[in-house]
Amino acid sequence: MADHFPSGPLSFGKVLIQRDEDKCLPTHQYSKLPSNISDSELDVFILEPMLATGGSIYRAIGIVAERGVALKRILVVSILASEQAVQLVLKRYPGLHIVTAAIDENLNTKG
């Protein structure tokens, strides 16, 4: 296990993005990230259970990238993702990796 985490214990951070339900727009409310997040040896996992429109994860990736994290070190992990969200995110961040258990081809009217 130590081979996967060469720098020692895991560090955790959080990013709170709240979506305006009427406009479906993500708003950054709060973030607290580890001080060493831009360390070139560390990988960053962004956990998001569901990628619907892609707006919230798009914003979260931007926040992490603004702190100096290279896209090749970011891995987005979700349970369910819409095709639209995956396309939106990969269009803006082509070097990013997304792992999801399932892709849903359709969104409802609320995203």
Which CATH number goes with the domain that contains 104? 3.40.50.2020
pLDDT at 83: 92
Q: How many domains is the chain built from?
A: 1
- Flag whether 37 is in a domain: no
* Helix boundaries (H) for 1-111: 55-66, 83-92
- Flag whether 28 is in a domain: no
Q: Which two three-digit tokens encode residue 64? A: 């992490």
pLDDT at 1: 45
- Flag whether 34 is in a domain: no
pTM of the model: 0.81
- Flag whether 56 is in a domain: yes
Longest dimension (CA), the chain: 46
Q: What is the pLDDT of residues 44-96, one digit of tens each?
A: 999 999 998 888 998 999 999 999 999 999 999 999 999 999 999 999 999 89
- Flag whether 8 is in a domain: no
SS3 41: coil
- Flag whether 15 is in a domain: no
- Flag whether 5 is in a domain: no
Q: What is the pLDDT of residues 8-32, one digit of tens each?
A: 667 889 999 988 777 778 889 999 9
- Flag whether 6 is in a domain: no
Range of 78's domain? 42-111
